[in-house]
Structure 1
Amino acid sequence: MTNKVALITGGAKGIGRAIALDLAAQQWSVAICYRTSNAAADETSAAIRARGGQALAVQCDVSDPKAAGDVVSQVESRWGRIDALINGAGPYHRVNLFDETPAGWREMFEGNLHPIFYLGQAVAPGMKARKQGRIINFSMANADQMVAQPEVTGHYIAKAGVLILTRTLAKLLAPYGITVNAISPGFIDSGSAPPDELAGVVKRIPAGYIGSVGDTVAAVRYLLSEEARYVNGANLHLSGGWGI
C-alpha cells in the first residue's frame, strides 16, 4: 500500500494512461493532465479508481506557464503534495524542415520542452520542502546524438533540449533528495501503427522486435522505485538497441 501522489501529463490515453493505471494498482493517487480528450480522461479516471487509486483529471494546456502552475496547485490542494511528476505529453509530426511552418515549429518546442520547464519550476518548491520527489521526462531515442533528422527536425531538437533540462534539474534538485531522469523510447507498439509499417520498423532494431507499452511502464516503475534512489540525471534508452 502507498499514499503517494503522481501528476502525469498526457495521462488520459496511450502510454500515459498505462502508467496511470499501473500506479493506481499500487494505490497511488493519480492526477492526469490532458488537453482535449475529455471522454478518454473520464474513462481513465474510472479505471484508476477501479484499480484502487484515487483520480483527478484536469484539462489544461501545460505549455502555458500559468496553466502549469495552476494544475500543480490544484493537485497539491487536493492531496497535499506531489511525489512524482511524469512529463509524458508532447506533440509529434513529420515534415521536411523546408516545408515546416512557423506555427508547426513553435508547437514542437511549446509542447515538448516548455512544459517540462514550467512544471519543474512549479513542483520544485513542494518537493524541496519535503526533501523527496521523482521527476521523469520523456525524450526520444537518438536525441542524445548529433545526427541530422530532416523529417522531424523540430521534434528532435526539442527532445534533445529535454535531456539538457533533465540533467540541469537533476543537478539543482539532487541536494534535496529529488531525482530527475529521462526515458527515451524508440519504436513502441501502442496499437496505433499499421502492421505493415511496424514490419518495416523491425528491420531497423537490433533486438529484432518492437517494444511494448509494458516495457515503458516497467521503466517508469523502476525509476520511481527505491532501487533507483541513486539514479539521477540518467537517460534510459528504451529502444532495443536502435540507434547504436
Structure 2
Amino acid sequence: MSTQQKVAVITGASRGIGAALVRAYRDRGYRVVATARSIKPSKDDGILVVPGDITERKTAERTISEGIARFGRIDSLVNNAGIFISRPFTQYTQADYADILGVNIAGFFHITQLAVAEMEKHGSGHVVQITTSMDEHADARVPAVLAALTKGGLNAATKSLAIEYAKRGIRVNAVAPGPVKSSMHPPETHRELGDLLPLGQMGEVSDVVDAVLYLESASFVTGEILHVDGGQSAGH
C-alpha cells in the first residue's frame, strides 16, 4: 500500500465526536487508525481499527505499531478519548479519580509520546487534544474539579509541547468545547446545559469536528487552545 497518503490516529473513536472525526478525516483523504475500548471492525480498507483500553501503554503501542505496519506513517493524532464526571468535590470517589486520570492523562501521555516519536522521523506532524473551557471558567452549577485538573493539564501540556517541538515541524493544538450534544449528555439535560452558555444553546458534534479540521489545515497555528464553547470561556 502506498505510504504517500496521510494518516491520522483518533482515540475514543467508537462514537460521538470520535466517530465523526473518523468520517471527517476519511472524507479529507486521510487513512485513519481508530482506537477505542469497544469499537467494531470497519469494512473500509482505509480505516484500521485497534480495540483496547487507552489507559494502558500496550494499547498505545499496538495502535501506533499496527498503524505504521499497515499504512507506513503517522501524520496526525487526535486525543479525543476522555471522561467527564460532574460531582461536588467531596463526593468524588477513588474510582472516579482513577478512571478520569487514567483516560484523560495516561491515555494522552502514552499515545502522544509514541506518535510524536514517529512524527519526528519525517519532521512533520500535528497533535490535537479535545479538552474543556471549564479549567478557565469554573461554574458552581457544574462542579467538575477533576475535569479542570486533567483537561486543564492537557491545555497546559499543549502549549508546552507546541514550543518544544515547534522547530521540529510538529504542531500541537487543542479544541476546548463547552457542552456538546453527544452521548455524554442525555437529551433531557440539553436545555439546562444550553441555558448555562451565553449563546443559549449546546454545541453540536460537527462544531468540534470543524474546529479540529481547521487546526489540521492551519499550518501557521500551534500552541492554540481553540474555544468552541458558546462563549463559556468569555464570561456570563
Contact 2:137 2:232 in 1 (8 A): no
Contact 1:88 1:138 in 2 (8 A): yes
**Equivalent residue letter for 1:125:** A
Identity %, equivalent residues = 31
Distance 1:149 1:114 in 2: 28
Q: Does 1:97 align with 2:89?
A: yes
What is the match of residue 243 of structure 1? 233
Contact 1:97 1:150 in 2 (8 A): no
Query: What is the CA-CA distance between 1:81 and the residue it aligns to?
Result: 0.8
TM-score w.r.t. the length of structure 2 is: 0.90
Query: What is the CA-CA distance between 1:213 and the residue it aligns to?
Result: 1.0
Q: Does 1:178 align with 2:170?
A: yes
What is the match of residue 24 of structure 2? 22
Q: Does 1:232 align with 2:214?
A: no
User: Equivalent of 2:193, from 182, 193, 201?
Assistant: 201
Distance 2:193 2:112 in 1: 34
**Structure 1 gaps, min length 5:** none
User: Equivalent of 1:7, from 6, 9, 14?
Assistant: 9
Q: 1:197/1:105 Cα in 2 relative to 1: closer, same or farther (>3 Å)?
A: same
Query: What is the CA-CA distance between 1:159 and the residue it aligns to?
Result: 0.7
**Equivalent residue letter for 2:68:** E
**Equivalent residue letter for 1:138:** I
Query: What is the CA-CA distance between 1:102 and the residue it aligns to?
Result: 1.5
Q: 1:210/1:171 Cα in 2 relative to 1: closer, same or farther (>3 Å)?
A: same
Q: Does 1:135 align with 2:137?
A: no
Query: What is the CA-CA distance between 1:207 and the residue it aligns to?
Result: 1.8
Q: 1:1-244 counterparts in 2 under 5 A?
A: 3-35=5-37, 37-38=38-39, 41-42=40-41, 45-46=42-43, 49=44, 54-145=46-137, 151-190=143-182, 193-225=185-217, 228-244=218-234
Q: 1:132/1:34 Cα in 2 relative to 1: closer, same or farther (>3 Å)?
A: same
Query: What is the CA-CA distance between 1:92 and the residue it aligns to?
Result: 2.1
Query: What is the CA-CA distance between 1:160 and the residue it aligns to?
Result: 0.8
Contact 2:86 2:142 in 1 (8 A): no
Query: What is the CA-CA distance between 1:108 and the residue it aligns to?
Result: 1.1
Distance 1:210 1:155 in 2: 18
Q: 1:148/1:72 Cα in 2 relative to 1: closer, same or farther (>3 Å)?
A: farther
SS of 1:190's equivalent in the other structure is coil
**Structure 2 gaps, min length 5:** none
SS of 1:113's equivalent in the other structure is helix
Query: What is the CA-CA distance between 1:214 and the residue it aligns to?
Result: 1.0
Query: What is the CA-CA distance between 1:179 and the residue it aligns to?
Result: 0.5
TM-score w.r.t. the length of structure 1 is: 0.87
Contact 1:167 1:233 in 2 (8 A): yes
Q: How many residues align?
A: 231
SS of 1:216's equivalent in the other structure is helix
